[in-house]
Amino acid sequence: MSKMPGRPVLTVPEAEALALELFGAAGTAAPLPSDRDLNFRLTLTDGSRAVFKIFNTIEDEAYLECQSDAMDWAAKAGLPVPKVIGRATAKLNGKNHLVRLVSWLDGTPLGDASPITAQMEFDLGALLGRMDRAMEGFEHPAAPNHFPWDFANVADTVSKHIHAIPEARKPLVEMGLNLYQEHVAPKWDVLPKAIIHNDANDYNVLVGSAQEYPRPITGLLDFGDLVHSARVGNPAVAATYLALHREDPVDALCQVIKGYTSIFELSELELEVFYSLVCIRLSVSVTMSAVQRALEPDNEYLSISEKGAWTTLEKLQHQHPRLVHYRLRDAAGYAPVPNSTFVVDWIQSHKDDFHPVILPARPGAPPVVFDFSVSSQEFDSEAINTPGVADKEIWDRTGNAVGIGRWDEPRLAYGGDQYATQSGERRTIHLGVDLFRPARTPVQAPLSGTVHSFCAHHARFDYGGCLILEHEPEKGLRFWTLYGHLSHDSVKNLVVGKSVEAGDVIAYLGPFEENGGWVPHLHFQIIVDRLDLEATFPGVASPSQRDVWCSLSPSPVDMLGIPQSAVAPRSPHVQDLLERRNRS
């Protein structure tokens, strides 16, 4: 027996009889899952199928008409959504229930598809972009704004029911709540609003046969959560449930945004709240699952996403919100790190003012640029971290000059476990410039600043001695420079906050035994946003996030006063190659 207030109770034979009575629809009924109504798949005598829906008594007739009108509007725009075939009212157990007969859409629920590919995530984003573009002119006086799953009300919903969450797990729920209060609530009134579907979860989306490639999105079901709310909520909800299927949940968010923005623009303001909306949706999901499960412990549908939602919250607690934001901006086609351009422009305009960081043994000796890339004909993949392999070649070619390892270079030299990412992709893109000189060579500050943080790292393939300087050459312009592979003695006596001037000796290069296990050199890197890290920062990025990390750590070539050949050339993207081939 249902304990959900207002939910109708009906056996299969009773449902078949009611469908025949109300709509003349003779057929065989089979129950379908629902969180608050009663749904049946009705197979009619002619072989066609429909959905027979008996609504909860709490449903408002005007709101159901709003849903029906929205479905009709979307269908007329060519979107793959159900159509309302019939409307009626039925009295069950002394209570009136609104009833609808809705067309059936063929397909497999996206949540049951395996694998869910990046293309499917992109295509769902594109479908929602088409929907939001098509619905721009749709208005209805009954579109609600009081729904508990509406992003306008989710903070209140979570706060009201968080008592249902076990104490050990409350911090995960509060993470979403805190992000919402910090990033969404202050901006809510100025976010673009529209009537949105609001529930493109993985079981409301249908896909085609597994034999089709790419496997298409064939339908969007259930307009029962339709609201007038922030338009960005539509792709945010879809991204939330796709994230449940990813080792790196943010990858799913990026693919949905790429698809959505291929059709319909997301503003920078909407991107600022996107991640927080995803997190609060997960918080609402687990909270409401706990509440509803207490009412109906035998209804498995109520907990269909709960386990995945908890797992995803656990993964997201290790993500830095600003880094996620930069990845989302990149996916939408914006500059990943907004203030990176200002730092780059300032450095370029002052490129003649910086002091050399590493001096050659012979004054004026031009630097020697090396190729350590995956396609290098000069060195094999492990050359710079195996003693005796590259040392002689590097020092013979460098002579009295400074050897250069390039920025933005894809390398295979990074074999440690610390270079594996959450998704399994390895980090291979070099984010700094390497300056090769023998151990104990002095390192000098290129411009004035203060000691921000330092550490002697001991793990193999790490930085060894590492120093970060903070620079604020103009009010409102702040960035950092990182110096890696230093001797341990170099960083022992440093003092946080100590001022340094351009040309000051700040450290010395470390030997192989102290610098993380590399041929002696300085790893020099510019950092636009430290992501709250102290005495370290990723010096290598994964290829899929290359543009994001190159925006966080832009080219230091101008600051170092070295040739532009120290920037590794990028191989043409596959799509670029195809377009060139088609034009030829």
Q: Give a three-class secondary structure readout of 508-572.
A: EECCCCCCCCCCCCEEEEEECCCCCCCCCCCCEECHHHHHHHHHHCCCCHHHHCCCHHHECCCCC
The token pair that represents 123 in the structure block: 């295509």
Taking the C-alpha atoms of residue 276 and residue 185, their distance in angstroms, rounded to an integer, is 10
CATH architecture of 12-103: 2-Layer Sandwich (3.30)
- Paired residues of 146 in beta bridges: none
The token pair that represents 459 in the structure block: 């793990």
Q: What is the pLDDT of residue 577?
A: 47
Residues contacting 177, CB < 8 A, separation 6+: 155, 158, 159, 162, 280, 283
The Cβ of residue 233 has, within 10 Å, a number of other Cβ atoms equal to: 29
Taking the C-alpha atoms of residue 190 and residue 182, their distance in angstroms, rounded to an integer, is 15
Percentages (nearest 5) of helix, strand, coil residues in the chain: 40, 20, 40
Q: What is the pLDDT of residue 176?
A: 96
Residues contacting 175, CB < 8 A, separation 6+: 279, 283, 313, 316, 317
Taking the C-alpha atoms of residue 59 and residue 71, their distance in angstroms, rounded to an integer, is 17
Kindly state the DSSP code that residue 413 receives in the 8-state scheme. Answer: -
β-strand pairing of 433-436 with 403-405:
antiparallel
Q: What is the pLDDT of residue 413?
A: 80
The token pair that represents 514 in the structure block: 């102290």
- CB of 103 closer than 8 Å to CB of 92: no
- CB of 12 closer than 8 Å to CB of 31: yes
Q: What is the pLDDT of residue 581?
A: 47
**The domain 340-566 is classified under which CATH number: 3.40.50.300, 3.40.190.10, 2.70.70.10, 3.30.1780.10?**
2.70.70.10
Residues contacting 477, CB < 8 A, separation 6+: 342, 343, 346
Taking the C-alpha atoms of residue 40 and residue 533, their distance in angstroms, rounded to an integer, is 54
Element (H, E) at 507: strand 505-508
CA quadruple 564, 568, 569, 573: dihedral, nearest 10? -140
Q: What is the pLDDT of residue 530?
A: 98
Q: What is the pLDDT of residue 574?
A: 47
465-482: b or e for each residue (b if 16 or more CB lie within 10 Å)? bbbbbbbeeeeeebbbbb
Q: What is the pLDDT of residue 22?
A: 96
Let me know if domain 108-331 sits in CATH 3.40.50.300.
no
Q: What is the pLDDT of residue 391?
A: 82
Q: What is the pLDDT of residue 384?
A: 67
Angle between helices 249-261 and 268-295 (to 10 degrees): 120
Residue type at position 517: G
Taking the C-alpha atoms of residue 168 and residue 262, their distance in angstroms, rounded to an integer, is 41
- Which of 552, 579, 519 shows the shortest CA–CA distance to 387? 519
Q: What is the pLDDT of residue 148?
A: 87
Q: What is the pLDDT of residue 291?
A: 87
- CB of 251 closer than 8 Å to CB of 118: yes
What's the sign of the alpha-carbon dihedral 513, 517, 521, 524?
negative
Could you give the 3-state DSSP secondary structure of residue 300?
helix
β-strand pairing of 368-370 with 403-405:
parallel
- Which of 576, 470, 570, 465 shows the shortest CA–CA distance to 523? 465
Q: Where are the domains of the chain?
A: 12-103, 108-331, 340-566
The Cβ of residue 300 has, within 10 Å, a number of other Cβ atoms equal to: 10
Taking the C-alpha atoms of residue 202 and residue 84, their distance in angstroms, rounded to an integer, is 22
- Paired residues of 30 in beta bridges: 41
- CB of 246 closer than 8 Å to CB of 112: no
Tens of pLDDT along the chain (584 residues) come to: 455 678 888 999 999 999 999 999 999 999 998 878 899 999 999 999 999 999 998 888 899 999 999 999 999 999 999 999 999 999 998 899 999 999 999 999 999 999 999 999 999 999 999 999 999 999 999 987 788 899 999 999 999 999 999 999 999 999 999 999 999 999 999 999 999 999 999 999 999 999 999 999 999 999 989 999 999 999 999 999 999 999 999 999 999 999 999 999 999 999 999 999 999 999 999 999 898 877 776 666 656 678 899 999 999 999 999 999 999 999 999 999 999 999 999 999 999 999 999 999 999 999 999 999 988 888 876 666 666 667 888 898 999 999 999 999 999 887 677 788 877 888 999 999 999 999 999 999 999 999 999 999 998 889 999 999 999 999 999 999 999 999 999 999 899 999 999 999 999 999 999 998 899 999 999 999 999 999 999 999 999 999 999 999 999 999 999 999 999 999 876 445 444 444 44
